[in-house]
Structure 1
Amino acid sequence: MSALPTPGLVSVQDYLDGELAAAEKHEYLGGVVHAMAGGTRRHNAVSSNAVIALGARLRGKPCRAFASDAKVRVQSPTQIRFYYPDATVVCNDAEDGSLYEDEPVVLIEVLSPSTRRIDDGEKRDAYLSIPSLRVFLRVEPDRPLVIVDRRVVPGFGFALESYEGENAVIPLPEIGTELPLRDLYEA
């Protein structure tokens, strides 16, 4: 016997098809679709700086940095979610036509007052459940402060780290580079 669709919920395929034609981005949480709010100029500058800095450092290496248009799929036993992190690093050979990433190694969210609770709670929990994820960075947009969740040993959780000040540098041996906060916060 096959399961009947739940009324009012959007299928994964309908969501993915809709995103291809949508004027704005939406996140998907187990059949419920949420429109994303736009970010401030400062938020966008910091997230762009992250992609530019990581992209330049990863040139010629097996990993690639992607901007906030790259969706990440999070699969749990009870539901599928799609989020748009501010920056994503992947180290696999997925097809260029793929609509989402399944195996991110590094994820970055630039915090804002309207999304902080979700970024620090729901998204953090979802991201940390991704088996391939090694590092999750939560970036304050208005001051040089980054909170890092780093996988200690696969399957055994994450350690919390904090980097503060323009001279701080986040080591990222998981992808063979580092990320100076000065580059993140460049005006």
Structure 2
Amino acid sequence: MQTAERLRFSAEDYLAWEETQAEKHEFVAGEVFAMTGARQAHVLVSGNIHSALKQRLRGTPCRAYMVDMKLRVESADAFFYPDIMVSCHPDDRKAEQYLANPSLILEVLSDSTADYDRGGKFVAYRKLESLREYLIVDIEARRVECFRRTADNDWLLHDYVGEVACKLTSLGIQIPMSEIFEDIEAA
């Protein structure tokens, strides 16, 4: 993530400014960061997962959103563009610019964002009371790291590698690993 000309904004000013931009920018504590483009494998895996979620959530109050929908983490004074989010919250169904109550967030790792996705972003995401699962997809390792919030507000890791399917308990569904990594050639 690169800082966009070291611009500083309030959250409201950021939202107004972002609407006029050709490229996407994330916002953290007044600072704005330009988003970079994704590689083909990243786009394919994100699309595979979004498609699988959309099919499995049909007829439920839950909706799957792809990378163009912003997420607001008010307690972190931040706006992010997760690769995928699922929200079942009625307020998010009416949202125009951003969601605020996702139950699941998913990030597909890239070389430039892996440390941030596992570190600073996850710290901010954990502040969302609605969040039940955070998934990190590692394409090269063919791994899905699923962090689940426990009843004690701890986060428990379920590591899916070589498994048949990734179980998403927050949604009561599972997605076969072969479906997640469909069309991705072995390295």
- TM-score, length basis structure 2: 0.89
Greater mean deviation of Cα atoms: 27-36 or 172-181: 172-181
Q: Cα deviations across residues 98-142 of structure 1 (Å, max 9, x unaligned)?
A: 211110100000001111111110011111121100000000123
Aligned mates of 1:27, 1:172 — CA distance in 2? 27
Query: Aligned-residue CA RMSD in angstroms?
Result: 1.4
Name stretches of at least 5 consecutive residues in structure 1 with no aligned partner: 1-7
* 3-state secondary structure, aligned to 2:105: strand
* 3-state secondary structure, aligned to 1:47: helix
Corresponding residue number in structure 1 for 2:88? 91
Give the CA deviation at 1:36.
0.7
Corresponding residue number in structure 2 for 1:82? 79
Bigger fraction of residues in strand: 2
Give the CA deviation at 1:18.
1.8
Count the aligned residue pairs: 176
Give the CA deviation at 1:11.
1.4
Of the three residues 125, 136, 157, the one matched with 1:138 is 136
Give the CA deviation at 1:97.
4.6
Corresponding residue number in structure 2 for 1:9? 8
- TM-score, length basis structure 1: 0.89
The change in CA–CA distance for 1:35 and 1:57 in structure 2 (over 3 A counts) is same
Of the three residues 170, 173, 176, the one matched with 1:177 is 173
Name stretches of at least 5 consecutive residues in structure 2 with no aligned partner: 1-6
Q: Percent same amino acid among aligned pairs? A: 39
Q: Which amino acid in 1 is paired with 2:154?
A: G
Aligned mates of 1:141, 1:99 — CA distance in 2? 30
Q: Which runs of 4+ in 1 moved over 6 A?
A: none
Greater mean deviation of Cα atoms: 136-145 or 94-103: 94-103
* 3-state secondary structure, aligned to 1:156: coil
Corresponding residue number in structure 1 for 2:45? 46
